[in-house]
Structure 1
Amino acid sequence: MSLVGKHGYKETAVGWVPEDWRCEQLGGYLTLLTGAPFKSELFSSDGGIPLIRIRDLLRGFSETGYVGEYDDRYLVNAGDVLVGMDGEFHVVRWKGSPALLNQRVLKISEKPGHSDVGFLFFLVASVIGKIQDGISATTVKHLSTKDLQNLTAAIPPLPEQQKIAAVLTAVDGKLDVIARQIEATQALKQGLMQTLFSQGVANWPSVSLQEVAEVRTGVAKGKKGLKEPIELPYLRVANVQDGHIDLTEVKTITVEAAQVGRYALQSGDVLMTEGGDFDKLGRGDVWEGQISPCLHQNHVFAVRPAPSKLNSYYLAALAASDYGRQYFLSCAKRTTNLASINSSQLKAFPVLLPPLDEQVRIADIVAAANARIEILSTKKAHYQTLKRGLMKKLLTGEWRVKLDSPTGTA
């Protein structure tokens, strides 16, 4: 819907907004506090008050404590609005325990009588991209307090700010509930697998993966001089997630027509990633032929079990369990933040091999947990889309909230 020329709206530097809204720099509506340069020699891993650094913003907790003296004004409580001043400029409401505001983290507060801190949280989150776009590309982007203070935005009257914040906060509350449900289901799944496979270590035979499955490597990008080239969809590391295959974005790759059979996936193949973060080793899921034909990249292994010996879904669960991850970590090549395995190490993976009916029973238990996680993830995506739409409509005034006050705007 276009607001251009609409009755009750006016043209401003940020577009058409309601006539009773202001178009001003944010400096008059927020109070900013930058974190203190606490002494690193007083950092502690087992004591003190938590210290909030940029890495802690999204996860909502800190593993670093501070054991020195501090000024109370740097104390952050749950609900306070924080912004990371380097990198992606994440805007969050702190969800952890009381903690200290470290340097390069910014705390945003309202100006009483002029602004609502809940509204400022959503407003800053929506406009911070303008600052990022205006900063030249460097290794790390840096945010200053002036960047925020000088940013021009549409500001509704205080009662409308508060109502907009209440609407959006309600959606955030729903997202928080769903996130906790997903986390609890994932923990339950890991607990179930831990119990099932711990019992199996003592009772089931173990064979190397190559005895009961074929490990297939994928196609490499960038090959030149291809004969009879053909372009087909293929799966990358980004498509292979823990417990599901993400087909949101499937890219294509050019291969020789004669090589399609060599790299094409079959229904029942277990996809595993070659490497990534430590906790990603062994992750994967079963390919069910959602796209045909479909190839796989050389950083994604396709493991093709012998159906009479090994159930694909059981193998995927075993590889993702603590048992599987401990094996992969024990033989992986490691760098500072990453780890990887090669095909020989994967082929040597010691597979716990109960009877097929027991494999199916275990696979069904894990599948039930995965299905619950998938339902919750879909629900989460719905509310995230809803939130984005509401922010766009409410923060521009295209949709007006109904105020409880008789003097409010309908």
Structure 2
Amino acid sequence: MRGEASCDGFPEVPLGSLLTQKPKNGYSPKDVPDWTGLQALGLGCLSATGLAPVQLKNVPDTALARRSLLTDGDLLMSRANTRELVGLVGRFTYAGHPCIYPDLMMRLRPDEARCLSSYLEIVLRSNRVRRDVRAGARGTSDSMVKIGAPLVEGLEIPLPRIEEQRQIVTVHVAFERRITALERMLDKLRVAEEALTVSALAPMDEDTWDCVPLETVATVAAGVTLGSEPVGDGTVELPYLRVANVLDGRIDTADVKTVRILRSQYERFALRKGDLLLTEGGDLDKLGRGAVWDGRIAECLHQNHVFRVRCGERMVPEFLALYTSSAAGRAYFQRVGKQTTNLASINSTQVKHMPIPVPPLDEQEHVLGPIRAVRHRSAALGRQIAKLRIVQQGVIEDLLAGRVRVPEVASAEAA
């Protein structure tokens, strides 16, 4: 109930009662090429981890635009997006020049005497509030939903004393500092991997290795076409990888869909550990992105928009992936790719004809050694960051619910 203590202590109040003004939508003027003294944020500035000053654009400096000026500590919330991303929140920090926010965001200005903006940002990114926002969003499909000021103003916010708010923020910041330090280490490892890759492929520029069409050292196959699925006896429903699962350098299986095929077609579309997966279409600079399949799903297929490249005896899959993702490999895909208004694509013939360097197998393994070591370290750091994020989320949720207090958290960390 509003104004009463939650089950473990903190009173809860509607967000609207903590704001100095009603939530206000932004303004989206047309951008201009030259600096005007005023810039606008883009919707991409907001992410699950807050607000970053990216996608800034120059806009006309008018009285209408300046109604959407941001001040240090303003909170911004996306009011239109997918159901998963709507309601993302970030806190604006003054960047040294005037800045406005777009129409697809709303601005929240808390009364700092009652609720710190840094604390409110944490609350609005908590699991419970995110669930309430997603549940209250309205739209004809999950691909685009909207939220309005009444929903936002009615969100129930736990309200500890200002000093306790500061303590919760301190804990949150401590986690963020540790995570940021690990992310910087990860960035350095990625730079090291790029340098090792350039060094590994250097003999290719010196014509030291043979260069042959890909189809002479590997087989290329398209996957299952979605649409009319067979039914009845002799069919089987299996997971499959689509373009969204095949990222640059890794396979994401967090969201894998299934498709029904004839059991007799299984070998035609099945993946094996060591298969290189390459995407057929997308932005021109992302054509042919891919990664080597590690076999984490026992029986798995691939969609027709994902090429399966299965290496023969002369080629190590990781070396082939190293080349296809290199500057030379990307340049080939961009050169042969077919560009349309919104997308670019490559076909299986172009993949088969791709010129590939083929050093001896022992040399392939030799150049891959240092790269594998860096990737192993990067993967370990990635797991450490992900684990720390989970711990951070759990600690913050407990603090917001009043189940633990900051001194208890400090004691537990010390132990």
TM-score class normalised by the smaller sequence: 0.7 to 0.9
Q: Secondary structure at the match of 1:82?
A: strand
Q: Structure 1 residues 214-223 or 49-58, which shifts more?
A: 49-58
Structure 2 equivalent of residue 52 of structure 1: 41
Structure 2 equivalent of residue 201 of structure 1: 205
Give the whole-Å Cα distance in 1 for the aligned partners of 2:252 and 2:71. 37
For the pair 1:162 / 2:162, whether they are aligned, the reply is no
Structure 1 letter corresponding to 2:160: P
Query: Are the counterparts in 2 of residues 75 and 98 from structure 1 also a CA contact under 8 Å?
Result: no
Structure 2 equivalent of residue 74 of structure 1: 69
Give the whole-Å Cα distance in 2 for the aligned partners of 1:46 and 1:357. 55
Structure 2 equivalent of residue 17 of structure 1: 7
Percent of matched pairs sharing the same residue: 31
| Distance change >3 Å, CA 73–CA 16, structure 1 → 2 | closer
Structure 2 letter corresponding to 1:68: D
Q: Secondary structure at the match of 2:291?
A: strand
Q: Secondary structure at the match of 2:138?
A: coil
Structure 1 equivalent of residue 125 of structure 2: 125
| Distance change >3 Å, CA 403–CA 193, structure 1 → 2 | closer
Structure 2 letter corresponding to 1:102: Y
| Distance change >3 Å, CA 276–CA 379, structure 1 → 2 | farther
Shift of 1:195: 4.3
Give the whole-Å Cα distance in 1 for the aligned partners of 2:363 and 2:34. 44
Query: Are the counterparts in 2 of residues 60 and 95 from structure 1 also a CA contact under 8 Å?
Result: no
Shift of 1:191: 3.4
The one of 341, 366, 370 aligned to 1:365: 370
For the pair 1:28 / 2:17, whether they are aligned, the reply is yes
TM-superposition CA deviations, 1:364-406 (whole Å, max 9, x none) = 23322322221122112112212332233222222233399xx
Structure 1 letter corresponding to 2:392: K
| Distance change >3 Å, CA 73–CA 295, structure 1 → 2 | closer
Structure 2 equivalent of residue 65 of structure 1: 58
The one of 256, 262, 273 aligned to 1:256: 262
The one of 283, 291, 304 aligned to 1:298: 304
Give the whole-Å Cα distance in 1 for the aligned partners of 2:27 and 2:257. 45
| Distance change >3 Å, CA 393–CA 280, structure 1 → 2 | farther
Give the whole-Å Cα distance in 2 for the aligned partners of 1:189 and 1:46. 37
Give the whole-Å Cα distance in 1 for the aligned partners of 2:241 and 2:68. 50
Q: Secondary structure at the match of 1:326?
A: helix
Give the whole-Å Cα distance in 2 for the aligned partners of 1:147 and 1:198. 58
| Distance change >3 Å, CA 119–CA 385, structure 1 → 2 | same
Q: Secondary structure at the match of 1:141?
A: strand
Q: Secondary structure at the match of 1:376?
A: helix
Query: Are the counterparts in 2 of residues 237 and 299 from structure 1 also a CA contact under 8 Å?
Result: yes
The one of 60, 74, 77 aligned to 1:83: 77
Structure 1 equivalent of residue 112 of structure 2: 112
Structure 2 letter corresponding to 1:216: A
Query: Are the counterparts in 1 of residues 3 and 11 from structure 2 also a CA contact under 8 Å?
Result: no
| Distance change >3 Å, CA 73–CA 274, structure 1 → 2 | closer
The one of 204, 217, 241 aligned to 1:212: 217
Structure 1 letter corresponding to 2:175: V
Q: Secondary structure at the match of 1:179?
A: helix
Give the whole-Å Cα distance in 2 for the aligned partners of 1:254 and 1:367. 36
Query: Are the counterparts in 1 of residues 91 and 118 from structure 2 also a CA contact under 8 Å?
Result: no
Query: Are the counterparts in 1 of residues 220 and 309 from structure 2 also a CA contact under 8 Å?
Result: yes
Query: Are the counterparts in 1 of residues 281 and 345 from structure 2 also a CA contact under 8 Å?
Result: yes
For the pair 1:40 / 2:30, whether they are aligned, the reply is yes
| Distance change >3 Å, CA 14–CA 303, structure 1 → 2 | farther
Shift of 1:183: 3.0
Instruction: State the superposition RMSD in angstroms.
Output: 3.2
Query: Are the counterparts in 2 of residues 35 and 101 from structure 1 also a CA contact under 8 Å?
Result: no
Give the whole-Å Cα distance in 1 for the aligned partners of 2:330 and 2:393. 36
Matches within 5 A, 1:127-142: 127-138=129-140, 140-142=144-146
Give the whole-Å Cα distance in 2 for the aligned partners of 1:14 and 1:340. 58
Structure 2 equivalent of residue 333 of structure 1: 338
TM-superposition CA deviations, 1:190-222 (whole Å, max 9, x none) = 333234435523323322111211112222234
Structure 1 letter corresponding to 2:16: G
For the pair 1:235 / 2:237, whether they are aligned, the reply is no
Stretches of structure 1 that go unaligned for 5 or more consecutive residues are 1-10, 405-410
Q: Secondary structure at the match of 1:271?
A: strand
Give the whole-Å Cα distance in 2 for the aligned partners of 1:375 and 1:399. 30
Q: Secondary structure at the match of 2:373?
A: helix
Structure 1 equivalent of residue 90 of structure 2: 92
TM-superposition CA deviations, 1:53-74 (whole Å, max 9, x none) = 2123335323423463775982
Matches within 5 A, 1:174-193: 174-193=178-197
Q: Secondary structure at the match of 1:114?
A: coil
Query: Are the counterparts in 2 of residues 160 and 403 from structure 1 also a CA contact under 8 Å?
Result: no
Q: Secondary structure at the match of 1:303?
A: strand
Shift of 1:50: 4.0
Give the whole-Å Cα distance in 2 for the aligned partners of 1:211 and 1:386. 49
Structure 2 equivalent of residue 408 of structure 1: none
| Distance change >3 Å, CA 403–CA 302, structure 1 → 2 | closer
For the pair 1:148 / 2:139, whether they are aligned, the reply is no
Structure 2 equivalent of residue 377 of structure 1: 382
Give the whole-Å Cα distance in 2 for the aligned partners of 1:234 and 1:165. 43
Give the whole-Å Cα distance in 2 for the aligned partners of 1:45 and 1:185. 37
Q: Structure 1 residues 55-64 or 119-128, which shifts more?
A: 55-64
Structure 1 letter corresponding to 2:301: L
Give the whole-Å Cα distance in 1 for the aligned partners of 2:157 and 2:26. 28
Q: Secondary structure at the match of 2:166?
A: helix
